[in-house]
Structure 1
Amino acid sequence: MYKVFVVKINHCNPIPTSRGVLSKTIHSIIAGSMLSAVAVTAVAQGSDDANLIEEVMVTGSYAKSLEQAVDIKRSSVGFSDSIVATDIADFPEQNLAEALQRMPGVTIERNRGLGSKVNVRSLPSEFTHVSINGLATASGSGGREVEFDIFASEIIQSVTVQKSPTAADEEGGIAGSVLISTGRPFDYNEPKFVLSAEGAHNSISEEIDPKISLLASNTFGDWGVLASFSKAQRTNRTDANSGINFRPLSRWTEKTGSSKWQADQTLEVLERDTGVVITDPFDSEQTNRVVFLDKVGNRSYLNDQDKWGGTLSLQYQPSDTFTLSFDAMLGGYDNTEDEYDAAAYTASSISALERVHAYDSTTLADYGVVVLRDVSYANTQHEFLSKENVHKTDYTQYSFDMDWEVAGWQVKGLVGYSGVEKLSDTSNLKHVAYGPSRSRYAGKGGETILSDNPGSFDMYNSPGKYLFDSYEVNLESIEDDKYAAQLDFIRPMFLDSFPALAQIQWGARYTDKSKKRDRGTEFVYGPSAGDTSWRNKRTLQDSKLNSISGLVPGGSFLSDVSNSPQWAQVDNGYARSHFRYDGFNVDYQESEYYRVDEEVLSFYAMVDFKFDVGNLPTTINAGVRSVDTTVESYGYHQVQNNDGSTGYTPAPISKQGQYRDTLPSLNLSMELTDNVMLRAAASETLIRPALGDIAYKRTVSVSEFKYRDGNPDLKPTYADQWEIGLEWYLEQGGLLAVSWFEKEIEGVVRESLTGVVKDVTKYNANGTIDGIYDFDVYQKVNAEGSYDVSGVEFIAQFPLSMFHPALEGFGINANLTLLDNSLTGDSDLGIPTPPAGLTDKTWNLTAFYENDVFDARISYNYKDKYVEYIERDMFPVYRDDYGQLDMAIGYHVTDNIKVVLDVINLTDEATSAYTIDPSFPTMYEMSGRRISLGVRADF
């Protein structure tokens, strides 16, 4: 056992900002051992009712970690929720995103069974602002959202999700702000060393993955040093029946010239087999409402991850009035994903309907949509795709933090750097075979089988029919750098003439952010540069083939689905060594380059009042923040050659934009009784557009006949938000809370048609010309008008011993968030659609038991259905509701050594998706159950 300090907050002065005093207090309250409860140092700010410090004995208690989180919530200025070290580390999370999913209003986006991005109150992940040790975090993506899967949860000491901002915050975030803290040496009152190691087994891949983490901390007089490190490997297999989406019949009905037979046959078959008559084949209002299965794919993924992260903190604290801290956080995330895909592209450009076996004109009748459920096609494009996606991400953050009390002022300074470098090498080996086929919806997805046409063939077992099309390699580099400096001045006030004035605060912050992207593509068609001898001549069977169960460990494909297909194709390792000839290289292309620079200078002023309304102690925090933003975007556009030759040449282009904003905020709390608090908050906040959307660049989607351009004139999305709630603080860290919130959001970024490019030549997979078409140009724009999002959040956290002494050690931690919104998505067909990413209901329930030697927790996390995207801007695709059950059991062999058994996805749940209605599935994905056994030592 060891000693820690626990803060018991009694009727003390408010801590008026998440920066300044609160950041110091949060670091002292919530920083602690990865495996133990938290060492706490209270900071009383000139109050007669000082915080009481109680010394207690704790042995890595989950219940105590909940108490610390409640203490943080109670002492915060506005609405917030927190988790601390034990809560983070003692659950079976695979990364930081999964550690956050148990917090009220927080859900995660899953990718191949792994949490990757965080949604606060179900708003899109790009609406959330993330900082580490007070410094906004760089991103390895093209946007601003943080890829949480790069962070190991073991090196994180605490996370607070702040839902109502103050003027002192760098940026409120429309959804909220995620404030991450790492440990510091003076958080501990004695030397500390923690070591943990585990092995985890995945039920599908059948691989065992190691993970190790450690923390060491000590102080030496005025100096202290803390270091932590975590390294983990993860091998996960995911099997999926996916890629099944709607394609409108306009795919063929608009064919002319030598391809007009496709339009004629399609219209004739449609009328003959369904009775549906299209009077004008060029009327998209008719043709877009008759849909078929675009592509039925069977895919198996093998995801290998190697992740490490470390922190270093040096502190100089010569007195209680001065502290200087240096914090460093380094990390690396190498992720290699092999995808093996056998697919039937029914919407082949040289195909048509041949026979409709079954159709559905009733399920989506309200939208006038007819779904062709089971169809034979004239000439399907069958594909075997071996894809290798290699991503290497390096993360770096450094910061100096000063806290100095001088002449009655508290002066805080922060200087820091955050940077990410991400290099992606992605490849796709493509073999193609054409022939008649039959595709249909089947159970959990779709399937492709032989049609009655004598030319139809077994797509899974005919390697001699598949011709080599290409080996495509893409190389992309993203560099994201951010520098920041901030200075805050805080002064507690004791004025006899104005006793209600408790504190004044002001400060300034400067940030300089730059994101640069380079990208290049190279196609291989033969054994040397410029050689095309393999294309449409070399067959699939000319390469070394492996069965799908041999390419990915763990047995047969989709073992829980009856009649699941089996096939053989080319291993990515073979593809890399065989098709990347000597001297192969990918050059970055000028037309793919972009860079965005952003400078922000902001000033704020804030004031705190403390007074009684009747006999009810009341605090008010009010402030305003002025923000001045300058953005400069660099890239290339296409300029027609002026030397007499045909074609276009990339030419550099840049544009500067500027906007200024004034953002007010107000937070109020009133103590109705000693244990019941009323809170209210109002503010205006913003979230800036993704840098990739601002940048000058053009991408093409050949299948959609679209270009997508960047838009340097994009402005932020703004929100006016309000919240009111009641919090009842119970004994032993118990809490019952309810709050109602509303956000009026305007300037939301949407994709819009902004132009047309005439006479674009489009090619088929076999190199022949498909036709000459007009391509639409789409850009992200700030939509006119606004929409409302409102909701109610419930929290219930309490020990069951409140009800009976026999339940000592048992407890509940639960939360529920219900959401409503006034916005419908941007479906071109007018199909009512919620905003992408917005879910109506999420809830979490954790039941736990612990005593001196044993603890057990079981947790269920549920997220209701939500729109992932709108296919072709017409058909909303929903990710189905999903619930996952996790479990953790720990046993203390000695006071210092603990054995832990964790299970992720105990019931082996699958993720699924559908288009508009569940009867039209688009994806069924199995990622398996993960069981880990580990040991943790704390000295």
Structure 2
Amino acid sequence: MQCIFLGRLRRSTAIATVLVCGAWSCLASAQTTADPVEPALTDDRATVADEGVEGEEIVVTGVRGSLARALNQKRTAAGIVDGISAKDLMDYPDLNIADSLQRITGVTVERSLGEATNIAVRGLASQFTRVTINGQTVTSGNSGREVSFDVFASELFTNVQIHKSHMAEQTEGGLAGTVDLRTARPFDYKSDRPVLGVSAQAQYNDVSKDIDPRLSAIVSKTFADGTIGVLASVSYSEQSLRQDNAEGLRFILTDIDADGDGVRETRNVEYPFIPRYVNENIHRKRLGITGAMQFRPADSFQLNFDVAYANVKEMRRRYSIDGQIVAANIQNPLSPPTVDATGLIVSADLPNVESRSENVQTPYQDKLLLLNADAQWDAADNLAIKGKVGYSDASRTTDEFRSTWSSFGAFHYDFTDRIFPVIEGIGRDILDPANYASHVARFINTDVTDREFSVQGDVEWRLGTFLSALKAGGRFNDGKKDTVQFDGTVRTTANFRDYAIDLPTDHFFKGESAPGIIRNWPVVDFDNILNSTALIPAGYEPPQRLISTNAVKEKTWAGYFQAEFDAHNVSSLPLRGNVGVRVVNTEQSSTGYPTSVSPITVSSTYTEVLPSANVTAELASNLMLRLGVAKSLTRPTITDLTPGGTVAVGVNMASFGNPFLKPYTAWNYDASLEWYFSNEALLSLALFDKEVSGFVTRVSSSETLGADVLGASDPRAGQVFDVSRPVNGDSAYVRGFEIGLQAPLSSLIGRDSFFSDFGFVANYTYADSKSTISFNGEDITTLLRGQSRSSVNAVVYYEKGPFSTRFAYSWRDKYLDEVRGGRERNNFIGAYGQLDMNVQYSITDKIVLTFNALNLLNEGQHRYAETEDRSIRFSNTGRFFLLGARAKF
């Protein structure tokens, strides 16, 4: 198990089983129903019986206590649910909650500038995972349905659960699974006294070289003999993230005339489209607030109110220097190029290449507000009634500005290093701003809003027989997602020297010694450019980009019935489980612009029936077998549902969305064998198989487009066009297995050894997939995007007295990132492993000193075109160090 890169990508990654728990603490937590388990935060103890010492009990705390509770929950679960739980609020050591989620079996993450952003469950991309906070669906400022987890500060959450199997009572939408993030509530605390907790950390990144604050606090109080409770928490952090990139960008297949005789005698060779160096910087301010009120006037009734708010402001700046190589440049080189045995044009001297200093500034803001109210009334000893109302509102505002300066002339590149290209002008200095005169200013402003209102009710009738309970309920959901984009370009001729400054860093790719690395190049002062009326007209406003403007409304009605059974008292083989069905009707309305004419609105409706069954058999007192089968769905990506699109200029080609798309559906087959071979110890094996139908793929067909689409002034109205649209087409599958092992060593070797204060958690996931995708008129059989065949997590922890430490290593195999097809190869993200460390020392039982180190091995990320010698991007983001203290009173 190691990450293997070519040349300088061979870093110290040969670490097989050294791994993680951070300052979170419980893996593999589960529950008996679809509702999240609420942790008791102030009592971090668990009591377990000591097998072999009659009547003796051991009280364990810290990580062991959290893990012991998790195993107890898993043994009583109706489905397959994994999770993590902080043993105290503000105890997660990671940059955001997605970094913590990657420790869970079957969960992998995608990263941006070193921070986890999206998660995938069992190999399916992030759009197939439904994300909730306190049971309420999280809306998103992304263009699709996926949720970016870098919006959430890890300090805000006390418990996260991933529902991998499906039950009728669960809200639909998560074909891969459902992630529920739980914020704290006042009744979680068992003490009647006020609770106050504070945390402060300083964060340092050894690439950005900046020190940033992370602050959080919580206060909670119960009143009136514990019948009323209020809680509020706040988290604020700043982050300075940086990423240094060496890129080839894309590799394109071509034929070349190597000797200049007009005949392209060299066939099917590849070249890097844009060899370049890129410096990316982000400064982020993240504010998170949660609040809760609870009312329990009697044991039979409880009312809860929750609010969660996130506000993230970012300034992104990206600077690059490149050479943009098009077919006309490479097909007639100045001299015969060097082509290696793999068909790569390793080096070439080319005519009339455009060299660019491209500078991008993107301020953006994400906001998220969730409101939730739920109540439970035990109307009788055997009758419970639940109700829930929720609202989620997300928005993202992005104002991107690009300033691109161009210089044209002869150009040389050399990709012998395979990672760090040599790029330079021939007869011109591409690092001299005086050689750049053409300027393009482009503004791309995008506003996305996503709102959802839901109401649901549930009834549970407890029978106390073999048929232990009957459940029924319904849910109504009303959602709308709008995207509005403005896009405009201003072209001018000016002298770059009047606006250029040096790259604002003096340690670009520090630690790398390749001779081709450009450490400094001319970039822009954004304030100077934006205030220059010579380059940008005063008061300029970009026009609306209608083909990227759309809206989708969705209303859903769902009802379910679920029967639960328990055969402990009527069978020699104890069985328990549930069987049910959920029926969902979706009404959808999509609005978009078919080119630059007036908008059109298209409506559609569909109904899905989603049966499910789960059974758990206790084969022995410490051996359990779980089986599950269910049908699940995920609705299509929002951008695919627009009736709008674009028509190419000059040729009869067009591309549109499809508002009549049906959802992805899957039959899910799950099996899990769990052996609780000792106290606090578990060895488990889970098998899964997802057969996905209705997989969305883009196909082309001949269609006649009229003036209603093209506009009355387009002379092509009534002509036949080659039109591509997304359609429900081919099927796909994801299948594999998960192995998990966890135990404190004291449960294996006794409590008297030095090693009895150590423990470990380890898991391995294998997932295989296959899908057929139509791309540019050809069928491509490939893996699913974002699916790694293998992923591994391991934790080694030590706890004794006031001191504890944990080492965690998370590794995932390479995965498909983008299907290109045609004359280009598919793009992959290379295998990546990350080692993290957490150290804590309790000065008193109320004050804890903390130190966290993330990405200790300083791993870089590699993106390539199918084979690692076709390097699309190598990125270095550095290590993160956090030093601080936490106190609770």
2:369–2:394: 8 Å Cα contact kept in structure 1?
A: yes
Cα distance in 1, alignment partners of residues 608 and 260 from structure 2: 55
* Offset, 1:266: 7.6
Match of 1:546?
501
* Offset, 1:146: 0.6
1:755–1:776: 8 Å Cα contact kept in structure 2?
A: yes
Match of 1:934?
884
Post-superposition CA distance 1:76-99 (Å, at most 9, x none): 211111111238854531111111
* Offset, 1:823: 3.2
Match of 1:778?
724
Q: 1:72 to 1:577 in 2, by over 3 A?
A: farther
Q: 1:591 to 1:871 in 2, by over 3 A?
A: closer
1:338–1:389: 8 Å Cα contact kept in structure 2?
A: yes
Cα distance in 2, alignment partners of residues 215 and 775 from structure 1: 61
Match of 2:184?
183
Which protein has greater RCO, CA pairs closer than 8 Å, 6+ apart? 2
* Offset, 1:360: 4.0
**Alignment partner of 1:607 is 2:573:** no
* Offset, 1:122: 1.8
Q: Secondary structure at the match of 1:249?
A: strand
1:439–1:446: 8 Å Cα contact kept in structure 2?
A: no
Alignment of 1:738-753 (within 5 A): 738-753=685-700
Aligned AA (2:756): E
The total of aligned residue pairs comes to: 827
- Decide which of 499, 513, 526 is 1:572's aligned counterpart: 526
Q: 1:699 to 1:800 in 2, by over 3 A?
A: farther
Cα distance in 1, alignment partners of residues 109 and 632 from structure 2: 23
Match of 1:562?
514
Q: 1:226 to 1:703 in 2, by over 3 A?
A: farther
Match of 2:12?
none
* Offset, 1:587: 4.9
**Alignment partner of 1:596 is 2:552:** yes
1:749–1:783: 8 Å Cα contact kept in structure 2?
A: yes
Aligned AA (2:111): R
Match of 1:151?
152
Alignment of 1:905-916 (within 5 A): 905-916=855-866
Match of 1:515?
481
* Offset, 1:728: 1.6
**Alignment partner of 1:687 is 2:696:** no
**Alignment partner of 1:864 is 2:813:** yes
Larger mean Cα displacement after TM superposition, 373-382 or 656-665: 373-382
Match of 2:13?
none
Match of 1:634?
591
Match of 2:332?
353
Post-superposition CA distance 1:446-490 (Å, at most 9, x none): 524457xxx54232x221121232111111111100000000000
Q: Secondary structure at the match of 2:574?
A: strand
Alignment of 1:741-890 (within 5 A): 741-754=688-701, 777-784=723-730, 786-804=731-749, 805=751, 806=753, 807-823=755-771, 826=774, 833-872=782-821, 874-890=824-840
Post-superposition CA distance 1:170-220 (Å, at most 9, x none): 115221111111111111111321110000111011000100011111100
Cα distance in 2, alignment partners of residues 703 and 442 from structure 1: 40
Match of 2:313?
334
Match of 1:124?
125
Q: Secondary structure at the match of 2:640?
A: helix
Post-superposition CA distance 1:857-879 (Å, at most 9, x none): 00000010011002355511110
TM-score by length of 1: 0.83
Q: 1:379 to 1:883 in 2, by over 3 A?
A: same
Q: 1:877 to 1:435 in 2, by over 3 A?
A: same
Post-superposition CA distance 1:504-563 (Å, at most 9, x none): 0000000001001111112234xxxxxxxxx2x3021121x2222xx24x6234542422
Post-superposition CA distance 1:804-845 (Å, at most 9, x none): 231222110111001122435556677763221111000101
- Decide which of 375, 392, 402 is 1:402's aligned counterpart: 375
Match of 2:277?
298
Q: CA RMSD in A?
A: 3.0
Match of 1:246?
251
Post-superposition CA distance 1:656-702 (Å, at most 9, x none): 01110100000100111222111000001011111121123325899
**Alignment partner of 1:169 is 2:170:** yes
**Alignment partner of 1:99 is 2:100:** yes
Match of 1:505?
471
Q: 1:870 to 1:356 in 2, by over 3 A?
A: farther
Q: 1:893 to 1:557 in 2, by over 3 A?
A: same
Post-superposition CA distance 1:141-196 (Å, at most 9, x none): 01111111101111111111110010001115221111111111111111321110
Match of 1:457?
428
**Alignment partner of 1:17 is 2:18:** no
Cα distance in 2, alignment partners of residues 699 and 84 from structure 1: 47
Match of 2:610?
663
Aligned AA (2:296): Q
Q: Secondary structure at the match of 1:154?
A: helix
- Decide which of 620, 639, 644 is 1:673's aligned counterpart: 620
Q: 1:706 to 1:865 in 2, by over 3 A?
A: farther
- Decide which of 193, 196, 199 is 1:193's aligned counterpart: 196
* Offset, 1:248: 3.1
Match of 2:211?
208
Q: 1:684 to 1:87 in 2, by over 3 A?
A: farther
1:376–1:438: 8 Å Cα contact kept in structure 2?
A: yes
* Offset, 1:62: 2.1
Cα distance in 2, alignment partners of residues 704 and 681 from structure 1: 52
Q: 1:333 to 1:732 in 2, by over 3 A?
A: farther
TM-score by length of 2: 0.88
Q: Secondary structure at the match of 1:696?
A: coil
Q: Secondary structure at the match of 2:826?
A: strand
**Alignment partner of 1:307 is 2:286:** yes
- Decide which of 381, 385, 389 is 2:362's aligned counterpart: 389
Cα distance in 1, alignment partners of residues 418 and 843 from structure 2: 46
**Overall identity of the aligned pairs, in %:** 29
**Alignment partner of 1:618 is 2:581:** no
* Offset, 1:375: 2.4
Match of 2:109?
108
2:46–2:66: 8 Å Cα contact kept in structure 1?
A: no
* Offset, 1:348: 6.3
Post-superposition CA distance 1:313-345 (Å, at most 9, x none): 001101111000110001101121100011110
* The structure with more helix, counted as a fraction of residues: 1
Q: Secondary structure at the match of 1:575?
A: helix
1:411–1:488: 8 Å Cα contact kept in structure 2?
A: yes
Cα distance in 2, alignment partners of residues 405 and 714 from structure 1: 42
Cα distance in 2, alignment partners of residues 740 and 350 from structure 1: 52
Cα distance in 2, alignment partners of residues 584 and 777 from structure 1: 35
2:46–2:59: 8 Å Cα contact kept in structure 1?
A: no
* Offset, 1:737: 0.6
Cα distance in 2, alignment partners of residues 599 and 152 from structure 1: 31
Alignment of 1:8-87 (within 5 A): 17-19=33-35, 23=36, 26-27=37-38, 30=39, 32=41, 37=44, 58=61, 61-86=62-87
* Offset, 1:269: 6.5
1:827–1:875: 8 Å Cα contact kept in structure 2?
A: no
1:95–1:153: 8 Å Cα contact kept in structure 2?
A: yes
1:386–1:571: 8 Å Cα contact kept in structure 2?
A: no
1:293–1:440: 8 Å Cα contact kept in structure 2?
A: no
- Decide which of 389, 407, 414 is 1:440's aligned counterpart: 414
Match of 2:391?
417
**Alignment partner of 1:379 is 2:379:** no
Post-superposition CA distance 1:716-739 (Å, at most 9, x none): 111011011111224442211101
2:277–2:321: 8 Å Cα contact kept in structure 1?
A: yes
* Offset, 1:753: 2.6
Q: Secondary structure at the match of 1:803?
A: helix
Cα distance in 1, alignment partners of residues 237 and 650 from structure 2: 39
Cα distance in 2, alignment partners of residues 678 and 93 from structure 1: 34
Cα distance in 2, alignment partners of residues 140 and 625 from structure 1: 29
1:835–1:867: 8 Å Cα contact kept in structure 2?
A: yes
